[in-house]
Amino acid sequence: MPNTTNERRVISVVVMNESSVLARVTALFAGRGYNIESLTVAPIPNSDMSHITIETKGNARVMEQITKQLHKLIPVYKVIEHEEMVEKEMVLVKFPIAENLSDIAALAAAYNGGIVNVGKEMVVAQVADEPKRVKHFIEAAQRYNPCEIVRGGVVAIER
Amino acid sequence: MQMSGAQMVCEAIIAEGVKTVFGYPGGAIMHVYDEIYKQNGFEHILNRHEQAAVHAADGYARATGEVGVAMVTSGPGFTNAVTGLATAYMDSIPMVVISGQVPLSLIGTDGFQEIDAVGISRPCTKHNFLVRSLEELPRILKEAFYLARTGRPGPVLVDIPKDITVEIGEFKYPESVNIPTYKPTYKGNNRQIEKAVEAIKKAKKPLLYLGGGVVASNAYKLVRELAEKTQIPAVETLMARGVMGAKNPLLLGMLGMHGNYASNMAMSETDLVISLGARFDDRVTGKLSEFAKYADVIHVDIDPANISKLVDVDYPIVGDITQVLEKMIPLLEGVNPDRYQAWREILKRYDELHPQSYEDSDEVIKPQWAIERIGELVGEQAIITSDVGQHQMWAAQHYPFDRPRQWINSGGLGTMGFGLPAAIGAKRACPEKTVINITGDGSILMNVQELVTAAEYKTPVINVILNNHFLGMVRQWQTFFYEKRYSETDLTFQPNWKMLVEACGGIGYDVTTKEEFDAALKDAIEKDKVCFMNVAVNRFENVLPMVPAGGALFNMMLPPKIENNGEEK
Ligand SMILES: Cc1ncc(C[n+]2csc(CCOP(=O)(O)OP(=O)(O)O)c2C)c(N)n1
Ligand SMILES: [Mg+2]
């Protein structure tokens, strides 16, 4: 195999929307020793299918096996190993109200986001952007003493 | 028609043409057993352990190619069945196991005898279902049988909550199945087949590498035709014994860890591997980087996930072997078999150099002799099952298998305790055949309660215990790789085999000489009762050749190089 490096990959799995289908998918990863970096699931509108997006790592042979093994699961309809795709991830970050709010707002705005909630003690900022940029945003946000960070996991769609 | 869920289960089994169901009742499945009592569309065999019931259904499936059915209750009934499911899963055996479950309202409450059956069985079934309503029961039953036998076959579990089995509803068994997410590929891509044919025509040293998929696809006649027409030599995996037929001059033998010299050398030197339904198991390949090092690989398999899983494949063909060969054979019309003459000569010399051999003895029965002798006395009219260990490997090496489905063993999982219940299943399916379980003094005790089942149902299977007073295969590894520290493998303490089998309603024979062996086997066949032939064999005999785990196939330990006769006698 020419490609033996562990590459990051995003796979979309279209499955029948039935009970325990997510368990089948994740158990396959656990049982065969594949990585899950992130995972998102939601029903596909106007259908009886769901869309699972999995961010994983592996060399070419592992990726090929993951795809084929996913395909073998009976309720799996389609497996798309993305080449050309639009990827987005969402993140929510909670800051103490004492931090500089206009700085935080400006930072979030620079990453296509903004402040979405202001409470008595906390503010919440939201960013939805490419995964790499989300990572940068989180790094930059460290300066403002974030008390909680919730990432949504990657969603992707073929270009 | 209106009926209960329990009746639906019976109706589905009858509709699928199943003649025999193996099982064991209990609380959660009792309604179904009540219906079994009332019907006469199929027979039910009460095995004496759920593991054995599943192995028996498995043996039935392997002997016939049809779906085997087993039925168990919830909780411990199901967990006992798990080894049976895993055994069938590893060898791609079509099977439907029906398990009772606690009522829907109790699921998730740690109810009495509740266990997450679909959770536990997920990695050892092709698919599984927890039935959630009576309406979906007929469809699920239909799909279970369909999934079990189509594509790459495998076991399917249907877990049915007890309340669904009493509920009454409309039953109409679906005529067809529509699973939009499940569409196995049978045909094989024409372009790929043509390319593979070109590769065969160009090769100088092609080799047919035959696996269990040939048996599953019922393709052995086509495989023989392909070999015959092209005069390409063949090796078989443990799961494919019988495909070529022992007398076939093109058959080199079995390859792998205990393969014969010519087979392993052929694989090491071939320039084109033609893999039909084999999956490059580590017990076959040895060290991967040395496996078929000089060869391009054609791989025909119904399961795309098998292709390029372990070995890079140059000509992948996803499809059913029968359908692929039907296209491939006519395209090979022009091949001149002389092309591979030089290659066949080389392999013939290898076989003459180190034939599959052993040193016979007049003092003690050699296990290999016992197997060859069974072959001489009953040969092609027997079905041979086996357990796991040295006796299994000797059976695979030395028995003259003529046809597929004549050899039934747990290849992928290597389950000790498989042989006797599988023999019972095979005998129920093929009562006209002599069914012989070649077993060891360790393995036989792992499902020995099945003697009672065999006796009760007058299912006369012959158990030939190759008794070395050892967990022999483990002992062999200890001899070779652990400086003879025989940790927990000495089975000097033994039951009285004759008394044991007689207590269960069978016959026992103690055999220490060749004459006794012949006499016992003859008597056993005549008496037509379940029996033990307790055959005292050379204790320290080793299975050879042997490729040490992880070694290259061409590095074999061979019989003459090792002193294996009387060590520590
Ligand atoms: C259920 C199970 N437990 C343990 C093993 C490991 N194992 C493989 S062969 C073997 C020894 C079998 O002994 P016996 O049945 O007497 O056969 P022999 O090798 O002596 O012919 C053991 C313990 C296994 N394959 N299956
Ligand atoms: Mg033994």
**B19 occurs within a structural domain:** yes
Looking at residue B387, its pLDDT comes to 98
Least confident of A58-62, B8-12, B230-234, B396-400: A58-62
Task: Give B311: exposed, middle or buried? Use CB within 10 Å, 0-12, 13-18, 19+.
Answer: middle
In a shared domain, residues B379 and B455? yes
| B312 near A CB under 8 A | yes
What is the B528 CA–ligand 2 centroid distance (Å)? 26
Looking at residue B334, its pLDDT comes to 86
- One-letter amino acid for residue A151 of the chain: R
B407-408 β-sheet, strand order: B407-408, B382-386, B434-440, B462-467, B531-536, B507-511
Distance CA B93, CA B83 (A): 13
The answer to whether B423 touches B437, Cβ cutoff 8 Å, is yes
- Give the nearest partner residue to A76 out of B130, B181, B312, using CB atoms: B181
In a shared domain, residues B343 and B378? no
In a shared domain, residues B382 and B527? yes
Report whether pLDDT(B215) > 70.
yes
Q: Interhelix angle for B5-15 vs B137-149, to 10°?
A: 30
**B interface mutation test: which of A68, A71, A81 has the most B CBs within 10 A?**
A68
- By C-alpha distance, the chain B residue nearest A24 is B122
- The preferred substitution site among B258, B439, B441, B443 for testing ligand 1, maximizing ligand atoms within 8 Å of CB, is B443
Q: Whose CA is nearest to atom 18 of ligand 1?
A: B472
**DSSP H helical segments within chain A, as ranges?**
21-31, 60-72, 101-110, 131-141
B536 alpha carbon, closest ligand: 2
Looking at residue A82, its pLDDT comes to 82
- The preferred substitution site among B385, B390, B410, B416 for testing ligand 1, maximizing ligand atoms within 8 Å of CB, is B416
The answer to whether A108 touches A51, Cβ cutoff 8 Å, is no
Distance CA B205, CA B413 (A): 32
pLDDT (tens digit, 9 = 90+) per residue, B273-320? 999 999 999 999 999 999 999 999 999 999 999 999 999 999 999 999
In a shared domain, residues B287 and B402? no
Report whether pLDDT(B17) > 50.
yes
pLDDT (tens digit, 9 = 90+) per residue, B183-205? 999 999 999 999 999 999 999 99
Give chain B's domain count: 3
- Give the nearest partner residue to B123 out of A15, A31, A74, using CB atoms: A31
CB contact under 8 A, A20 and B180: no
Report whether pLDDT(B380) > 80.
yes
Q: Per-domain residue ranges for chain A?
A: 7-83, 86-158
Asked if residue B441 has its Cβ within 6 Å of ligand 1, the reply is yes
- By C-alpha distance, the chain B residue nearest A73 is B127
In a shared domain, residues B285 and B388? no
The pTM of the full predicted model, rounded to 2 decimals, is 0.95
Tokens of B501: 């089998």
The answer to whether B388 touches B422, Cβ cutoff 8 Å, is no
CB contact under 8 A, B119 and A16: no
Q: Is the link from the previous residue into B545 a cis peptide, with omega within 30 of 0?
A: yes
In a shared domain, residues B228 and B164? no
- Give the nearest partner residue to A1 out of B127, B304, B312, using CB atoms: B312
**B550 occurs within a structural domain:** no
In a shared domain, residues B528 and B463? yes
Looking at residue A159, its pLDDT comes to 86
Q: Interhelix angle for B76-90 vs B50-64, to 10°?
A: 30
Homologous superfamily of the A86-158 domain (CATH): ACT-like. Chain A, domain 2 (3.30.70.1150)
Q: What is the CATH number of the domain that holds B465?
A: 3.40.50.970
Looking at residue A2, its pLDDT comes to 45
What is the B428 CA–ligand 2 centroid distance (Å)? 27
Cα B462 to Cα B404, B507, B542: the distances in Å are: 20, 10, 24
Nearest one of B59, B65, B73, B100 to B415, comparing CA atoms? B59
In a shared domain, residues B312 and B374? no
Distance CA B351, CA B263 (A): 8
Q: How many Cβ atoms sit within 10 Å of the Cβ of residue B398?
A: 20
In a shared domain, residues B265 and B373? no
Residue B197 belongs to domain spanning: 190-353
Q: Look at B381 and B498; give whichever has higher pLDDT.
A: B498
Asked if residue B474 has its Cβ within 6 Å of ligand 1, the reply is yes
Spans of chain A, pLDDT less than 50:
1-2
Residue B566: pLDDT band with limits 50, 70, 90: very low
**B242 occurs within a structural domain:** yes
CB contact under 8 A, A74 and B132: no
In a shared domain, residues B380 and B484? yes
Asked if residue B557 has its Cβ within 6 Å of ligand 1, the reply is no
CB contact under 8 A, A19 and B147: no
In a shared domain, residues B194 and B335? yes
Report whether pLDDT(B569) > 80.
no
CB contact under 8 A, B181 and A23: no
The answer to whether B494 touches B448, Cβ cutoff 8 Å, is no
**B35 occurs within a structural domain:** yes
Average pLDDT over residues B481-498: 98
**A interface mutation test: which of B140, B147, B159, B181 has the most A CBs within 10 A?**
B181
Residues of B in contact with A71 (CB under 8 A): 304-305
- One-letter amino acid for residue B511 of the chain: V
CB contact under 8 A, B305 and A15: no
- List the Cα angle A73/A76/A81 in 5-degree steps: 105
Q: What is the ipTM of this complex?
A: 0.88
Min Cα separation A26/chain B (Å): 11
Mean pLDDT over the full length of chain B: 96
Distance CA B532, CA B525 (A): 12
Q: Look at A84 and B24; give whichever has higher pLDDT.
A: B24
Residue B64: pLDDT band with limits 50, 70, 90: very high
Looking at residue A83, its pLDDT comes to 83
Tell me the CATH number of domain A7-83, given options 3.40.190.10, 3.40.50.1370, 3.30.70.260, 3.30.930.10: 3.30.70.260
- List the Cα angle B139/B218/B371 in 5-degree steps: 120
